[in-house]
Amino acid sequence: MREKIIRDWFQAWIDADISAVRRTFTEDAVYTECYGSKSEHVHPYGI
């Protein structure tokens, strides 16, 4: 299951399919970029 989520996420990134963000993250997710940027309770893509 986890591998499928990761594969789907990267395929969506390649395809520029923003709907994958909705399928992958819950609205209360904490999203942290590799360079340290962090978003809490705000969807990282404003969706």
For the stretch 3-13, pLDDT in tens is 988 888 888 88
Phi and psi at 22, nearest 5°, equal -65, -35
pLDDT in tens, 18-35: 787 777 777 777 767 777
Confidence label for 43 from pLDDT (cuts 50, 70 and 90): low
pLDDT surpassing 70 at residue 42? no
Write down the residue that tokens 């705000």 correspond to. 42
pLDDT surpassing 70 at residue 16? yes
d(CA 42, CA 45): 8
Q: What is the per-residue pLDDT for 14?
A: 92
